[in-house]
Amino acid sequence: MEPWVVGPVRAEYGFNICHGQASYVNWNSTFFDCNPVTIGTRTLVGPNCSFHGELHHRSCRENDDSGPFFDKPITVGDDCWIGGNVVVLAGVTIDRGSTVGAGNVVTKDVPSFHVVAGNPARILRKINTAMDHDSETSKV
């Protein structure tokens, strides 16, 4: 199944964005894709989300020959849910099966099967997978 992208979508370059099969990106998303931005298979992205692949140096003294910006890739794994109005910053990986609550800013990596929310986003809880559930049941 092909990815589904609802316009309008804005992209800095447009050719550094990779969508997995059956992924869905809702309208008004923005991609600063100076480095690869990868959206995993079956991942759902809400409206007004931004993927900021470039950052400013913290001080003008840190600028080097490359200028005032530096960039890092962004990876969103398979089977993730990204709520509306989420901002994902450069260098962040959101691992498989994780959920990001609406209106949050993701500044650090999110481990597999976790829910994060807040500004900056923090882990709220682990998502119980079917495999975890089966192993708990077998212990009883």
CATH number at residue 72: 2.160.10.10
> Which positions are annotated as active-site residues?
56
Kind plus residue range of the DSSP H or E element containing 25: strand 24-25
Q: Taking the CB of residue 106, how many other CB atoms lie within 10 A of it?
A: 26
Share of the chain above pLDDT 90, in %: 76
Q: What is the pLDDT of residues 113-133, one digit of tens each?
A: 999 999 999 999 999 876 554
Q: List beta partners, residue 44.
A: 24, 81
Q: Total domain count for the chain?
A: 1
Mean pLDDT of the chain: 88
Is residue 125 exposed (0-12), middle (13-18) or buried (19+ Cβ within 10 Å)?
Answer: exposed
**Structural domain of 121:** 4-139
Cβ(84)–Cβ(100) below 8 Å: no
Q: What is the pLDDT of residues 49-81, one digit of tens each?
A: 999 988 765 555 555 555 666 689 999 999 999
pTM (predicted TM-score): 0.85
Taking phi over 0 as left and psi of -120 to 50 as alpha, with beta for the rest, 118 belongs to: left
102 has pLDDT over 50: yes
Overall average pLDDT of the 99-106 stretch: 97
Peptide bond into 68 cis (omega under 30): no
Structure tokens belonging to residue 77: 């794994």
Q: Taking the CB of residue 2, how many other CB atoms lie within 10 A of it?
A: 8
Q: What is the pLDDT of residues 28-43, one digit of tens each?
A: 999 999 899 999 999 9
Q: Taking the CB of residue 21, how many other CB atoms lie within 10 A of it?
A: 11
Q: Please tell me the predicted confidence (pLDDT) of residue 65.
A: 58
20 has pLDDT over 80: yes
